[in-house]
Chain A
Amino acid sequence: MADTAVGSRLERREDRRFLTGKGRYTDDINRHGQAHAYFLRSPVAHARIGALDTAEAERAPGVIAVFTGKDMEADGVGSLPCGWVVTDRHGAPHKAPPHFPLARDRVRYVGDHVAVVIAETLGQAKDAADLIRVDYEELPAVIDLLSAASGELLHEAAPGNLCYDWELGDKAATEAGFAKAAHVTKLDLVNNRLIPNAMEPRAAIGEWDSGTEEYTLYSTSQNPHLLRLILCAFVLNLPESKVRVIAPDVGGGFGSKIFAYAEETVCTWASKKIDGRPVKWTADRGEAFLSDAHGRDHVTHCELALDADGHFLGLKVDTTANMGAYLSSFSTSVPTYLYATLLAGQYQTPAIYANVKAVFTNTAPVDAYRGAGRPEATYVIERLVEIAARETGRDPAELRRLNFIRPDQFPYQTPVALQYDIGDYEPSLDKALEMIDYQGFGARKAASEAKGKLRGIGLSAYIEACGIAPSAVVGSLGAGVGLWESATVRFNATGTVSVMTGAHSHGQGHETTFAQVVAEKLGIPYDNVEIVHGDTGRISMGMGTYGSRSLAVGGSAIVKACDKIIAKGRKIAAHLMEASEGDVEFKDGKFTVAGTDKSKAMAEIAFTAYVPHNYPEGVEPGLDETAFYDPLNFTYPAGVHIAEVEIDPDTGITTIADWVAVDDFGNIINPMIVEGQVHGGIAQGVGQALLEHTVYDRESGQLLTGSYMDYAMPRADNFPAFRVETTVSACTHNPLGVKGCGEAGAIAAPAALMNAITDALGVEIDMPATPEKVWRAAQARLRVAAE
């Protein structure tokens, strides 16, 4: 029998259905009588909508209805809200212009939603959309974020196209640090805009039941409860009790499926308008490129001050962040509370000051994408540190070691608001250096050079913050929601256990990991534990999966619910064994009267709870407990990644020769799953550094990288095998001692790879390091060498 204990590499129970074609994704669902929705999208980046004539489309074959923003307005449908209000440096709230699901008088990016056609077949809906006549009175497009302030105004509510001008840290103390500096390293960088590209495109089926007046929405959501809350409370003005959101198997998300989007809103609303026929929409990949929330997109100037010994004295960061045309659900928090708060990294930098300006442009909304703010912070710090080492003639590894926060300094208060509970950074650094044979790099470089190749090595010592919390703190910073998680653990009378969790796997293997935790905690067979997620009709409350929170927050809620089960079970067991409750111990699934051989198995207690013939007085029947868990702090995974590259100066092609990662995720439930998360994160980080780049035409605002023909997705032959290890400093404030591993790779990787590439080239280049860019840099270097 497989070892199912916490810590074992247990194969995933969800895999059988995925491997046999029996996964059930939203687009696999077809409802009786369903109609198909097709969205007419703006072909221009910025325009007033003049005449909009849908009459001919409405008469087209198979068409059931055509709706525009005016129809939704007449029905009182609201705006898609931004759930985090950032207060700017003058004390004013950010500018949050309305974001209507269907445009009302103006379109603001290519792909913006103009109208929806609902027809018997998708083909008919598409054909009819061609018959809608729209007069677009074009306006100049604002694409470049640095000149957005002087561009055409996108929203009346946001003068200068500015969403907020925000700051964090002590400016005067930072300037004082710089005044004492022996050396200042300066860097201008671009954190390139990415498109998340979960392989399953977004999809939705909205369905209204005229009998019960209830709505059901099937959606590709990472957080069905949160989606329900946003739709009900802010957009459609419906009672939550009348709306059920079901997110079945979800084919990847990486953040892009957190948000409440126009399409699912429209499908839900439109079903009632067409008398309850279900309305189905599935994005094609082109629509996904245009309208999924994008990620990153910063332009930054940053400076690091060092004393003569290499100690960091201060860090200054000036960032302009692109919000796109409208504020997506959590967009405003990404370049602020998930970015600037991480700028201390693993280091004892005494003073840090960050200024962040967020601007509107005529591009798709930008929001959280794997790492969300933390990759951008890590990129700033780790590029600066590497360049500082080069400029001052220090070993980059040793400069990091010199400035690391020491183990005896935890809990460590950073100058940018966070308090790290625990960490131990040197063991990760030492292990990574050893794994990659850092000492042997010189010989490998010489061997490459003998073949006419360039070789470089680059480190990234990242920190990140997972399980965003606690609710009271994030609330004081502007979050509109609580950030707890909830779980219900229910013993069935026959001894099996159903666990209802508000976290929602979209590839992370919760059905396996959570069952490992519960089986061990309750001392029952793993096969007896079923994990239920992704349905507001089956799980009472939840907040979903993002920010590497599922185990640290969701798992902790499960543990708390198990504790309540054990506490109640102890009362029942004490009664059955005629012992006092205080004498009853629980271990390995058995209640035992201390010092005796009298014991009762968990399954027997569960049966008794539902067949309470011989039962303690005053105790309710049933063994079914719910717990909410609100974390005391973020968790702080950290580690070191090292990339080694070889560059062919004749072709500009960068080959990743080796990659080592040593991560501290705290305690680990299933190492196989954790390693898989690290691999995937690295791949997305490598994608950002080497391949992926979102390009809008600066004049027309057309998305030039709108398909897999133009947007370079990482493929199998872009990678080496990764070598992944872990160290452990257990989180101090959650019951599992876990931290979170989903985003670490994407956070660490870009800086490691760009440090390696620029080490090889000897000049700075921005991401992505495409062959053309690398070739130009390599050729320039060879010319200089020849002169």
Chain B
Amino acid sequence: MVTVSMTVNGKQVSKEVEGRTLLVQFLRDQLGLTGTHVGCDTSQCGACVVHIDGTSVKSCTVLAAQADGAEVMTIEGLAQTGQLHPMQEAFREHHGLQCGFCTPGMVMSAVDLLKENPDPSDREIREWLQGNICRCTGYHNIVKAIQAAAQSMRG
């Protein structure tokens, strides 16, 4: 067992976990943050994307112990004081989600894209999303939502 401490959605947490515990298991099972999903076992689907120190990471690919001391943000931490983040708002407005299962990872990934590239083209968005699989939307409205969010965040 190892002790891991980190900041999750602004709150300091510290727990004893088995060494093999993945960050996604830590978030879901230890902290009850079930918004981060597990859709595969090969780090392909991206349903588990969270931010570690501001960068999007597949939390199924990181041991909880590797995130020791880090700032982690999950989908639950994105909306501030009940106000949806512009990316969440855009997904809702443009119907960028159906079953909702890939959505947390998709949104967290898209937020990181706009940090790196505030004005991405259609092609750049689609290439960025290669690591996030959605089976419902055909990606059409996800791309539209990210474009709309980019526009609203640029002001």
Contact = CB atoms under 8 A, between A and B. Distances in A.
B103 interface: yes
A199 B99 contact: yes
A22 B97 CA distance: 14
Contact of A249 (B36, B79, B100, B142): B100
A12 B129 contact: no
A716 B129 CA distance: 6
Interface in B72-87: 74-76, 78-79, 84
Interface of A is mostly: loop
A680 B141 CA distance: 10
A249 B20 CA distance: 29
Contacts of A715: 126, 129-130, 133, 139
A20 interface: yes
A15 B92 contact: yes
B95 interface: yes
Interface stretch (B41-49, B51-59, B61-69): B41-49
With most chain A CB atoms within 10 A of its CB, the pick from B28, B34, B138 is: B138
Contacts of B98: 252, 507-509, 676, 680
Contacts of B140: 676, 679, 719, 721-722
Given A199-B39, A507-B98, A682 B34 contact: no
Interface stretch (A98-106, A153-161, A569-577, A705-713): A705-713
A20 B143 CA distance: 19
A23 B103 CA distance: 10
A178 interface: no
A16 B35 CA distance: 12
B153 interface: no
Contacts of A716: 125-127, 129-130, 132, 134, 139, 142-143
A20 B84 contact: yes
B137 A709 contact: no
Interface string B109-145: 0000000000000110111011011111111111100
A722 B41 contact: no
Given A20-B88, A22-B35, A679-B137, A717 B40 contact: no
A252 B35 contact: no
Given A684-B135, A722-B138, A507 B99 contact: yes
A775 interface: no
Contact of A18 (B76, B100, B134): B100
B16 interface: no
B107 A19 contact: yes
Interface residues of B, number: 55
Nearest to B20: A123
A198 B76 contact: no
A343 interface: no
B42 A708 contact: yes
A368 interface: no
B129 to A, nearest CB: 4
Interface string B17-32: 0101000000010000
Contact of B97 (A15, A27, A200, A286): A15
Interface string A14-32: 1111111111110110000
Interface residues of A, number: 56
Contact of A673 (B44, B95, B101): B95
A285 B40 CA distance: 5
Nearest to A749: B138
Nearest to A710: B42
Nearest to B139: A716
Given A18-B100, A507-B99, A708-B45, A252 B75 contact: no
Given A21-B36, A21-B75, A715-B133, A12 B142 contact: no
B121 to A, nearest CB: 12
A21 B92 contact: no
Nearest to A673: B95
A20 B134 contact: no
Contacts of B79: 19-20
Contacts of A722: 138, 140
A196 B107 CA distance: 23
Given A23-B100, A673-B95, A200 B75 contact: no
A20 B88 CA distance: 8
B139 A719 contact: yes
A680 B130 CA distance: 17
Interface string A421-452: 00000000000000000000000000000000
A21 B33 contact: yes
A218 to B, nearest CB: 14
Contacts of B44: 707-709, 713
Nearest to B93: A11
B101 to A, nearest CB: 3
Given A15-B97, A199-B136, A716-B129, 7 more contacts: A19-B79, A20-B76, A201-B39, A507-B99, A676-B95, A676-B136, A722-B140
A-B pairs, 7 with minimum CB distance: A21-B35, A18-B100, A251-B101, A507-B99, A683-B138, A708-B44, A679-B138
Interface of A: 11-12, 14-25, 27-28, 123, 197-201, 249-252, 254, 284-286, 506-509, 672-673, 675-676, 679-684, 707-709, 713-717, 719, 721-722, 745
12 contacts: A19-B75, A19-B100, A23-B100, A25-B37, A123-B18, A199-B133, A285-B40, A507-B100, A676-B136, A676-B141, A679-B138, A680-B136
